[in-house]
Each structure stands twice: as C-alpha cells, then as structure tokens.
Amino acid sequence: MLLGAIADDFTGATDLCSMLVRGGMRTVQLIGVPDADAAAPEADAVVVALKSRTAPVRQAVEQSLAALAWLRRHGARQIFFKYCSTFDSTDQGNIGPVADALANALGSGFALACPAFPANNRSVYQGHLFVGSVLLNESGMEHHPLTPMTDANLVRVLSRQTDGTVGLVPFAVVEQGAQAIRRAMTALKEQGRRYAIVDAVSDAHLVAIGEAAEGHALITGGSGIAMGLPANFRRAGLLEEHDSTTLPDVAGHAAVLAGSCSRATLAQLGYARDHVPVLTLDPLATPDAAILTEQARTWMNGKLGRTPVVIAASAPPDAVAALQAKLGREEAGALVEETLARVAESLVRDGVRRLVVAGGETAGAVVSRLGVHSLRIGGEIDPGVPWTYAEGSGQPLLLALKSGNFGAREFFLKAFAALEQ
C-alpha cells in the first residue's frame, strides 16, 4: 500500500478513488474501519470511507484515528484526509479536529488544506472558496441542512476549528509551480503555522500542489489534489502502470435513490422527470420510515425492468427547513436516511443490480444497510463519480455513489447509458 486515505463520507471516498484510478493506481474503497486483524486488499491505494462528516466531533476523531492505525499497520507511506470540495464543516468541526488528531498521531506539525476541484466548478482564490463564479456562501451551500456554509474564507473557517494557526499559499505563488509552493509551505511551517490553505483554480495547479506535497506525512483536501500524487510514487519507482477500471458485467434492473437537497441533485431530478418514472417522497407529510418505504414499494410495482426508476426524498430549502422545524435537524436527516436505506434493501431484493445513490449521508446509510464492505473502482461517469462493484452485499451489485453537488444535469440517465458502452 502506497497511499492510505480516510474519507469523511462515502461519496467523497469514491470521488477520491476515481481520481486515483485515473492516475493509474489500483484502488479499493473499504466501508468503515476494518477489523484489526483484517487483511489489506491488494492495491496501491486504500480509501477507508467513514460516515463522520456530521458525526459528533469525538466520534469522528475516534473513527479517523482507528482508520489511521489500520492503514499504518498495513504499510501506508502517506496519509490523505479527504473531505468535500465545499469544505462542509460547522465552526465546531469536523475538518479541523480530525486533521489535528491525525497530524498529532503522525507527528506531523504541518499539513496543506485544499478542497479545490475545478472540473466540478470548485476553486480556491486568495483563500476564498468559489462554486463556479460565486462565493461558497452564495452558492446554495448556505442552506445546507446539516453543514450550512456561511463563510467562503477558508483561512477563517479552518482557524475557528483548530487550536493551531492557518496560513495561505496564494495564487501568485501557486502559478509558479511545485517548487515555489513547496518553499511557501516550508516558510509557513517555520513560522509555526499548522495548516496552509492553498489556492487552486486549474488542474495544473492541483498537479503542482500534489507534487509539492511529496514526502508530506499528511495531506488534507478534496480529491483534486490526488491528481498529482500518483506521479510522485511513479517517480520514486514505487508505482507500476495498471489498467484498473474494468468491472464485472452485472445484469439486472436499474434504479436511483436521491437524498441530497443540493441544487445539482434537484436539477438532475427535474431532468429525470421528463424521461423516466420519478417518485418524490414527502417526509414532512409522512414522518414515518416504514410508511414511506411501503409507499415506495407500492409505487414501484410493475415499473422495474423497463427503464430506470428514481425514488427521491430530496426537497428545496424551505421544505427541508419545515421538516427540521417539525422533527429537529438530526431526526429529520435520520428519517430520510433510514427510509432510503430500507427502499434500497427492497430494490435489491426485487432484482435491482445497478443502483445510483445521490448524497453522502444517504450513500452511507444505503451501503451500510446492504452490508457492503468494499468497493472496486471502475471508470468515471462524470468527474468524481465512478461506477463501482460492491463486495459483501450477497448479490452482484454495481453502485454509483454521487456527491449531491456533482454530476451533469442528465447524470442519472447518463450513468446507466455508460454501462451499455
């Protein structure tokens, strides 16, 4: 194992895996912290997917440290803490506390932080995170039901979460390439900074940042930085060339489950309604997972097999706010996750073998319910979203776990078309 990664949600883990596979690394995603005596898969990179993004801080830290211990035990040469390209994290955490704990465990006094992913319209300029042409706090993320992002200045955001200090490697330095970035990070470390937010507005910047991070014990950020990591191992003579995107053919019905309330997912649902059957569940009217699941089962009757079916509990911000006001924020999220996990179980039982899941929290609930313990990573559908082959579910199953913010408007239909090519 060359690279060991810890991801704070399941869709983010597959996003990172996809980037590493694209760079020629054989990559396996593990679901949750493996048992202490579990053997490591035969892979160049192993990504441990946790459901820790919105967990209590103490739990997120404990799970991340357990994953780190397992990865180090199996020889990982470098550790990557992967979080969302929209830096989803409240002022209490969990990005800062988890990064602090990992850095302390590794004896690393410094780490870079860069969530940029220009291919999906996420860029960092002068320390501010942009979604397309607007600041993060004007992108819709300010309405996120669990991690509302109301400040685009990542130096400020991360500073509120750590007892260390945070510096910036600005655009003008990043433009000069890997050596300039490395010098700037060294200077910040010598000044006593614990973290450096690093600007990036292009893939070339991400490659340079990855090169500059060669030899760093800990890297933190979005999957974009991984663009430059395989070449580091290749230059060191540690990584051979691989074609690792082929997955087994799996026949069966196709379905989509959507729990994300992001603008991107809502637009994808709108497009899907013009082409395939779509059911939108209403947790506000029926706040009972068992009843909602039965509604979905009744609706599915006779629809599986002809086209993909789409079942969603996604809603615009006002409806989400109303549900949270009625049930509480955590209870509302748990209701949606439990409902869609039950629906997923029913779909697989009824012969669905190709399943797209939209939303990190939803994906975590679904794969846990299905008993999936690892994912083999295939080719990309859209940037950051690959098809994967699920192992441990008891049935052959292809899964695409999509971050709520990722994918083109036609993503849901495009995903299944990709399997026929």
Give the domain CATH number at 51.
Answer: 3.40.50.10840
Across 233-247, average pLDDT = 84
Instruction: Look over the chain and give the mean of its residue pLDDT values, rounded to a whole number.
Output: 93
Residue 244 has pLDDT above 70, yes or no: no
The two tokens of residue 5 are 């990664």
Across 151-172, average pLDDT = 96
- Number of folded domains that form the chain: 2
Across 114-136, average pLDDT = 95
Instruction: Answer yes or no: is 338 within a domain.
Output: yes
Instruction: Answer yes or no: is 241 within a domain.
Output: no
Residue 144's pLDDT is what?
84
CA distances from 272 to 27, 316, 416 (A): 31, 16, 12
Residue 291's pLDDT is what?
97
408 CB-near residues (< 8 Å, 6+ apart) = 268, 382, 414
Instruction: Answer yes or no: is 224 within a domain.
Output: yes
Q: Nearest 5°: CA angle at 168, between 162 and 169? A: 140
Residue 243's pLDDT is what?
66
Phi/psi of residue 212, each to 5°? -65, -25
Residue 306's pLDDT is what?
72
Residues 205, 76 share a domain: yes
Instruction: Answer yes or no: is 246 within a domain.
Output: no
Is the Cβ–Cβ distance between 4 and 208 less than 8 Å?
Answer: no
Residue 330's pLDDT is what?
87
Residues 371, 316 share a domain: yes
CA distances from 92 to 96, 136, 160 (A): 8, 18, 7
Residues 309, 220 share a domain: no
Write out pLDDT tens, residues 378-417. Answer: 888 998 899 999 987 788 999 999 988 889 999 999 999 9
Write out pLDDT tens, residues 269-294. Answer: 999 999 999 999 999 999 999 999 99
Residues 369, 221 share a domain: no
**Percentage above 90 pLDDT, the chain:** 79
Residue 248 has pLDDT above 70, yes or no: yes
Closest CA to 346 of 248, 280, 257: 257
Residues 397, 304 share a domain: yes
Residue 421's pLDDT is what?
66
Residue 339 has pLDDT above 80, yes or no: yes
Last residue of a domain, one of 204, 235, 266: 235
Across 346-362, average pLDDT = 94
Last residue of a domain, one of 235, 268, 294: 235
Residues 343, 313 share a domain: yes
250: left (phi over 0), alpha (psi -120 to 50) or beta: beta
Residue 340 has pLDDT above 90, yes or no: yes
Residues 302, 217 share a domain: no
Instruction: Answer yes or no: is 247 within a domain.
Output: no
Residue 19 has pLDDT above 90, yes or no: yes
Residues 128, 220 share a domain: yes
Classify residue 203 by burial, with Cβ atoms within 10 Å: 0-12, 13-18, 19+.
Answer: middle
Instruction: Answer yes or no: is 69 within a domain.
Output: yes
Residues 317, 202 share a domain: no
Across 144-171, average pLDDT = 94
Residues 136, 36 share a domain: yes
Classify residue 190 by burial, with Cβ atoms within 10 Å: 0-12, 13-18, 19+.
Answer: exposed
Residues 157, 8 share a domain: yes
Write out pLDDT tens, residues 308-321. Answer: 999 999 999 899 99
pLDDT band for position 183 (50/70/90)?
A: very high
Residue 349 belongs to domain with CATH number: 3.40.980.20
Instruction: Answer yes or no: is 225 within a domain.
Output: yes
Instruction: Answer yes or no: is 333 within a domain.
Output: yes
Dist. CA 24–CA 241, nearest whole Å: 6
Residues 125, 272 share a domain: no
Residue numbers of the domain that contains 260: 253-419
